[in-house]
Amino acid sequence: MDVGSSDRTLREDARDALALAVAVSVVAVSFGALATAAGLPLLITMAMSLLVLAGGAQFLAVAIIAAGGGAVAAVAGGLLLNLRHLPYGLAVADVVGDRWPAKVFGAHLLIDEVVAFSRARGSGARARRAYWTSGILLATFWNAGTLLGVMAGSAIPDPSVFGVDAAFPAALLALLLPALRQSDARRVGLASAVIAVASTPFLAPGLPVLAGLLGLGVAGRRASS
């Protein structure tokens, strides 16, 4: 590969990473707005996006708290959800960097989209640059989007009039659709949804979501599609 085409590859990667970051910022705006609608103060919402930097766990924790669940259930749910980052880390350990400062900072950027973006570009120098470029862009846009969402959310006096409570599950479902292409994921997801809703009248707030993990019981063997 000559220098010219390599430059072009890098430019294209940077452009794709930017597009990905913009898409992610839309999700961040909805997080900021919904967290505000759920009564979270600005500082807590921003600190979540800055320090947790994991969309699914942030949505889950806020929803559990908003439903009246305890902090323990919210933290447990978020951490269980983030366990999937462990195999991700193993998969991209070489790409992130060899020295410990790279690992210490790079660990915080270990986001689903960043891992996918980087792994799609092999395991060499290009993948490393893709990891850091997309990681820094996503982290920046995630926080900027959250702030924008908090400001938009504060401007809405009564969120239920605008159907904001329907926007949250719809947004989450849209993000989950790619994973649901697998038949075992659909099976587990459906069982989990039924268990969670059916147990709601009987369990303390927050726990029905965790009870959804029992849906793993119908995982069966891996199917090919």
* Distance between CA atoms of residues 182 and 218, nearest Å: 14
Tell me the two tokens of residue 146: 């959250």
- Name the residue nearer to another protein (CB basis): 7 or 71: 71
Closest CB 148 distance from another protein, rounded Å: 13
- Name the residue nearer to another protein (CB basis): 71 or 125: 71
- Interface residues for another protein in 101-160 (CB under 8 A)? 103-104, 106-108, 110, 160
> Which one of residues 19, 23, 120, 125 is an interface residue with another protein (CB under 8 A)?
23
φ, ψ for residue 90 (rounded to 5)?
-60, -40
Closest among 170, 183, 154, 159 to 59, alpha carbons compared: 170
> Which one of residues 1, 3, 155, 161 is an interface residue with another protein (CB under 8 A)?
161
Handedness of CA 92, 96, 99, 104 (dihedral sign): negative
- Interface residues for another protein in 68-107 (CB under 8 A)? 68, 71-72, 74-75, 77-94, 96, 103-104, 106-107
Closest CB 121 distance from another protein, rounded Å: 18
Please report how the helices 3-37 and 125-155 are oriented relative to each other, as an axis angle in degrees rounded to 10. Answer: 30
